[in-house]
């Protein structure tokens, strides 16, 4: 857990929510239209589903507080996670009847300061 200067403790869930909120604000500012957040099914969860032009973009958000001693947030997107996101996206497309859409898988990496403000944000388009 991170501790702010006021002594508050932030959970992993709170850090994740802060990172996703920052990602949504970033995407909206760049003309993306967020259509779903935290969409769940039996195979997993999609952090953000957005439209950009004619494409449907599945966005995995990774956030971390503190330093990069444990690696960057985007480095935590391993083969298991890629497979899980792709499988969940297939279910999403099937359930929404979106078979003919151009799709992309992006990663947004968010580094948070101790007070949960955004230290940095990077967007990797077509990450996998």
What b/e readout covers 14-52, taking b as 16+ CB neighbours within 10 angstroms? bbbbbbbbbbbebbeeeebebeebebeeebbebbbbbeb
CB neighbours of 101 closer than 8 A, spacing ≥ 6?
A: 54, 55, 56, 93
CA angle 2, 77, 105 (to 5 degrees): 120
- pLDDT band at 8, cuts 50/70/90? low
Residue 68 confidence (pLDDT): 59
Domains of the chain: 11-124 (3.40.1350.10)
Q: Does residue 12 register a pLDDT over 60?
A: yes
Note the pLDDT tens digit of each residue in 62-92: 988 876 566 777 878 889 999 999 999 999 9
Q: Does residue 4 register a pLDDT over 50?
A: no
Q: Are 84 and 46 in contact (CB under 8 A)?
A: no
């Amino acid at each position: 857990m991170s501790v702010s200067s006021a002594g508050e403790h932030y959970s992993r869930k709170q850090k994740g929510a802060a990172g996703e909120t920052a990602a949504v604000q970033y995407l909206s500012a760049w003309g993306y239209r967020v259509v779903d957040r935290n969409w769940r099914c039996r195979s997993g969860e999609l952090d953000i589903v957005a439209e950009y032009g004619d494409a449907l973009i599945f966005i995995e958000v990774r956030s971390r507080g503190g330093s990069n001693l444990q690696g960057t947030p985007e480095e935590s997107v391993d083969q298991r996670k890629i497979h899980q996101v792709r499988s969940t996206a297939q279910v999403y497309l099937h359930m929404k009847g979106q078979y003919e859409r151009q799709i992309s898988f992006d990663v947004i990496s968010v580094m948070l300061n101790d007070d949960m403000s955004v230290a940095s944000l990077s967007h990797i388009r077509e990450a996998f």
